[in-house]
Amino acid sequence: MGSICGGTFLLAQTGLLDGRRATTHLLCAPDLAMMYPAVDVDVDALMIDDDMIIVGGVMAWADLGLVIVERLLGDDAMRETARFMMIDLPNRQQRFYSVFSPRREHGDLVISKAQHQVHLRANSRYKVADTAEWSGLEIRTFIRRFHAATGLRPNEYHQRMRIENARRLLETTTETIAKVGWDVGYDDMASVRTLFSRLTGLTPSDHRKRFRYSNANPL
C-alpha cells in the first residue's frame, strides 16, 4: 500500500496506520495527528517506508516510485532510474523545505506585542528578560504565556527567527557562512552550524548548495 499527501488520511481512516509512523504535507500534519491519534505523525519525514505501507508528503510521488523500483528491482536499478529521471534519491526530509511560520492569531494581545518586537529585532542580541520587559509582564509569567500562545519558549522562538533569516541569506546572497551567522546575531559559528543543522536537517553549506538561486545578487 502506498500514498502521498492527503492520501495518508484515507489510509489512516482504514486503521492500517494505527501504531505506525506516517507523514503527510506539513500543513496537514496537525489535522492528521488530531483526527487519528493512534498514528505516529512524523512531520519532518518526506516519506516513510514501513514494511508493506509507504506514505509520503506532497509531491513525494517520485520518492515513492523509486522505493517501489528498489523493492522490485534492487538498489542499482533504483539509482539508475533516479539518474535517468534527474531526481534526488529518496533520502530527503520535509524540514529541508519548511519555513518558520509562528503563531500570530492566538488572541493574547500582550504576547502579540512582544512578538512584534521580536520580529523587529530578530537579528539583535538580547535576553529573555528584555522580551518580558517589552510585554510588561514578570519574566516567569511572560515565559508561561508566551509558550502557551506560540508553542515555543521565547529563546526557541528567537532562535528559529534567526535561523529562518540565515536560510534566506544563504539562498539569496553570496555572503560567507560566517558573515551570515554574524548578520543574524551569532558570534560562535560552531553553535550556528549545530543549531542550523538541528532545525533544518542540513548544514549551512549543504542548504546553500541545494537551495541557492543561481541569479541571487551578491552583496
Q: What residue ranges define each of the domains in the chain, with the CATH number in brackets?
A: 2-96 (3.40.50.880), 101-219 (1.10.10.60)
- Reported as a single tens digit per residue, the pLDDT across 30-47 is 899 999 999 998 877 777
* Spatial separation of the C-alpha atoms in residues 124 and 131, rounded to whole Å: 12
Half-sphere exposure of 195 (CA within 13 A, CB side): 22
Is residue 41 within 8 Å of 9, Cβ to Cβ?
Answer: no
- Reported as a single tens digit per residue, the pLDDT across 68-104 is 888 889 888 888 888 887 777 766 666 666 677 788 8
Is residue 22 within 8 Å of 59, Cβ to Cβ?
Answer: no
- Reported as a single tens digit per residue, the pLDDT across 108-132 is 899 998 888 888 888 888 888 888 8
